[in-house]
Amino acid sequence: MSQKTIQLTEPLYQYLLSHSLAEHPLQKQLREETDDLPMARMATAPEQGQFLGVLIKALRVKRYLEIGTFTGYSSLSVGLHLPEDGEMVALERKQEWAEMAQVYWERAGFASRVDLRVGNALDSLQDLLAEGKAGWFDLAFIDADKPHYNDYFEACLQLVRPQGLIIIDNVLWHGNVIKADHTDADTEEMRAFNRRVHQDPRVEITMLPLGDGMTLAYKQ
């Protein structure tokens, strides 16, 4: 099969950004503040935030679940596009980062509609199920530790409604998924996860080369 997806050179990437981003001033401020942190590379890319925002509007998402919030770029991108009666559940294990995200949700005026749960996402997901939230969410975004991606995906399959969407980030894992000499646990898990989801009859997927690679899984 010949390759039709374009390779992004740096100038072409800059063109893409300058001809598609419509960053809210708060998104820009948060991105710049996050850039100063040692773990800045974990942040969701602005073009991914833009993509999430457009999806939220186009799909009329009202209930959004996020697994892995970090300093809040993706949740801010979503929150800015949720309707007035939209709600979000955000899961993050690190208090300090969750608090930074919260500051921006407050500035953007939607903090009261975010149910932030600081702790291990695996526990929070079980709590959500125990609270009767199965089938409650329109869209879930998985962006936390890779070894638990399968657990997150299984929980999301229960928590997202039929015809809802599960988005999984980092599926190309810096390109390491195709490098035979990369046998670390994260890479192996990402490979196994990608194989499983591709074969999973419960979802229909598309894998996009956006950011570090994003899979969109439509729940049947």
Ligand X SMILES: C[S@@+](CC[C@H](N)C(=O)[O-])C[C@H]1O[C@@H](n2cnc3c(N)ncnc32)[C@H](O)[C@@H]1O
Q: Which chain residues interact with ligand X by CB under 6 A?
A: 42-44, 68-71, 73-74, 91-94, 97, 120-121, 143-145
Question: Closest separation between CB of residue 66 and ligand X, Å?
Answer: 7
DSSP state, residue 4: -
Question: Closest separation between CB of residue 158 and ligand X, Å?
Answer: 17
In the bound state with ligand X, the residue whose beta carbon lies nearer, of 97 and 173, is: 97
In the bound state with ligand X, the residue whose beta carbon lies nearer, of 72 and 86, is: 72
In the bound state with ligand X, the residue whose beta carbon lies nearer, of 12 and 209, is: 209
Question: Closest separation between CB of residue 16 and ligand X, Å?
Answer: 19
Alpha helices in the chain (DSSP H): 10-18, 25-35, 46-58, 73-79, 95-108, 121-130, 149-159, 185-199
For residue 166, what are the β-bridge partners? 140, 217
Q: How far is CA 22 from CA 44, 109, 113, 194, in A?
A: 15, 19, 23, 31
Rounded Cα distance between 16 and 37, Å, is 25
In the bound state with ligand X, the residue whose beta carbon lies nearer, of 40 and 207, is: 40
Rounded Cα distance between 78 and 137, Å, is 14
Single-letter amino acid, residue 175: G
Question: Closest separation between CB of residue 170 and ligand X, Å?
Answer: 7
Question: Closest separation between CB of residue 130 and ligand X, Å?
Answer: 17
In the bound state with ligand X, the residue whose beta carbon lies nearer, of 50 and 71, is: 71
CA 166, 65, 105 angle in degrees (round to 5)?
A: 135
